[in-house]
Amino acid sequence: MPTNAATADQLRWKKIPVLDDGFVCLVDVMGDDQAVVQAARVSYGEGTRKVSDDRGLIRYLMRHRHTTPFEMAEIKFLVRVPMDCWRQWIRHRTANVNEYSTRYSLAIDATQTTPALQWRSQATGNRQGSGEMFGEDVGAKLTAAETEFQTQARRLYEDRIAAGVAREQARKDLPLSTYTEAYWKIDLHNLLHFLALRMDAHAQEEIRDYATAIGHEILQPLFPLVWEAFVDYRLEATYLTRLDRELISRLIDRLASAGRCRGSIEDFLAVQDATWAGLNRCRERDECQEKLVALGLLEKNA
């Protein structure tokens, strides 16, 4: 039995837990690393190429953003996810979806809960991100209020159902923390795009947990060569813009003339792009600074 087929059999219908009551699991997969290679070579059969040749080709395709061969493989998942997280997920319109219907069936009797130590404050520098964690005392009060609200909302829903209210109407006051389930089928190219966005450190923690589970627990064992290239060239890569490259060149010249190999925030600001100068807040400048710290060209405390 081919390795990919054996791996798929081991993974199929295995529920990988995410959050407190969610999961992702593989339903089916069409294709493997070899399917990507075959599509790129427009050939049939395994041929006589070595694995090293396949690896090199996949890495070339990923590096140069030749996406069509990755569309030749497809993966179908079953996911159980809170509705507020699902709203972010479903924005990726490149998949085929069939979601659990609360018009036809009773709503799933499970909600995402938040432990006292997991409440996050609003970030001050990012309107859509999280900041520091709340202390346990504050978190305990928030969790207690959450539990009370979720219990009352479920009781209200069940009372309406018992009174004969239509399911499609009885559901309207269920909280977004209620879990839903869906089949989600997507080709490999679009799945990698989903993972690149949702495994990123700036993504919301909850959907990042789902993306990480899909990537590490399912995609990596099914497509090891594709995954390796994806990590190297997208997930853990650093993208440099034209402004970034020009700034780096100016910074290197400045450091070389001073006999130094690493700069400070003052050095960075001295060679920043002219369009950034004078701005109190500039996200592009901040992102460039983060890249240079990661590359070792600026001090970490810059």
What is the Cα 299 distance to its own chain's centre?
Answer: 29
Of 264, 259, 267, residue with least CA distance to 299: 264
- In the residue annotation, 198 being an active-site residue is answered as yes
Q: d(Cα 66, Cα 272) in Å, to the nearest integer?
A: 33
**Please, how many CA atoms are within 13 Å of residue 297, restricted to the half-sphere of its CB?**
21
Q: Which letter, b or e, does each residue of 18-34 get, where b requires 16 or more Cβ atoms within 10 Å of its Cβ?
A: bbebbbbbbeebebbbb
Separation of alpha carbons 296 and 32, rounded Å? 37
Q: What are phi and psi of 79, to 5 degrees?
A: -125, 145
Active site residue: 59, 198, 234, 254, which one? 198
Instruction: Tell me which residues are annotated as active site.
Output: 198
